[in-house]
Amino acid sequence: MSSEKKNGKSSLPSEHEPVDSSRRNLLKGASMVGVAAFGSSAENIIAQDGGASSRREIAAREALEVLTSGEAETLDAICNCLIPSDEYGPGAFEARAVHYIDKSLASHNKSMREKYMVSLESIDRYAKKTKGKAFHLLSNDLQISVLSDVENNKVPGCSPSGKDFFNMVRNHTIDGTFCDPYYGGNQNFVGWDMINYPGIRLGASEADVAAGAKLEPNHQSAYDHDTYTKMASNQLLGQLGRNDDA
């Protein structure tokens, strides 16, 4: 389902090509914008079964700020397809990418709220019409089939288009999986652990430098550091002051 194509073909591996632990290798790159689903068959992502609800109990959510419970169920399933949990580790569901997206739609992504509302409804309606069940109740291979149709602009009603909405959700899922936990995603630092990121450090000792990639993660948000918090507060006060002067 990746939007990157080669010679008119999808850049995803076919079902005959192995999908190895390169899920992590894909995400370790400096640019993660091109990351989408990591296989074209359900077997490459999770074991086939009766869908998300039978695979696990839906974890108790914190109160949603913008999304309805139905929208959150659909979006949770989409995020799980994009960055799935597998034998190599947890994914977007465990990172609470949906929680990050919900918070962002109440703040810096507020202008995208309507796009999510109409597109998630359209995807769920399309799933019921073509597959016989709500999107979050479908088996993973059927969910991926629907998302392929979204990306290929075969699902009517998505805003501004199926492909554009798919790319937006993909990017927001990446943000929610790998952001600083302060912003609502990357729960328990699972995203940072996935890419072996050791965490925020305001300085590095000789021992830290010597450890290199083997540096133990400190599992700290930037906002756990007083220096960073004060800097952020001063920046906010400065912005408020400039707005008052205007």
pLDDT in tens, the chain (246 residues): 443 333 443 333 333 333 334 444 444 332 223 333 333 332 333 223 334 443 344 444 567 899 999 999 999 999 999 999 888 788 999 999 999 999 999 999 999 999 999 999 999 999 999 999 999 999 999 999 999 999 999 999 999 999 999 999 999 999 999 999 988 998 899 988 888 888 777 777 777 677 766 778 888 888 877 765 555 555 555 555 555 555
What is residue 37's predicted lDDT score, i.e. its pLDDT?
A: 34
Alpha-carbon distance values, 173 to 91, 168, 233, 238 (Å): 10, 9, 27, 31
Concatenating the DSSP letter of every residue in 55-79 gives HSPPPPPPPPSSS-HHHHHHHHHHH
Q: How far apart are CA 203 and CA 117, in angstroms?
A: 43
Q: How far apart are CA 73 and CA 14, in angstroms?
A: 28
Q: Which tokens in the block code for residue 130? A: 């073509």
Q: What angle do CA 24, 28, 30 make, to 5 degrees?
A: 155
Q: What are phi and psi of 102, to 5 degrees?
A: -60, -45
| 100 and 176 Cβ atoms separated by less than 8 Å | yes
Residue spans of beta strands (DSSP E) within the chain:
5-6, 9-10
Note the pTM of the prediction, 2 decimals.
0.70
CA atoms in the 13 A half-sphere facing the CB of 225: 15
What is residue 204's predicted lDDT score, i.e. its pLDDT?
A: 73
Q: Is 221 exposed, middle or buried (0-12, 13-18, 19+ CB in 10 A)?
A: middle
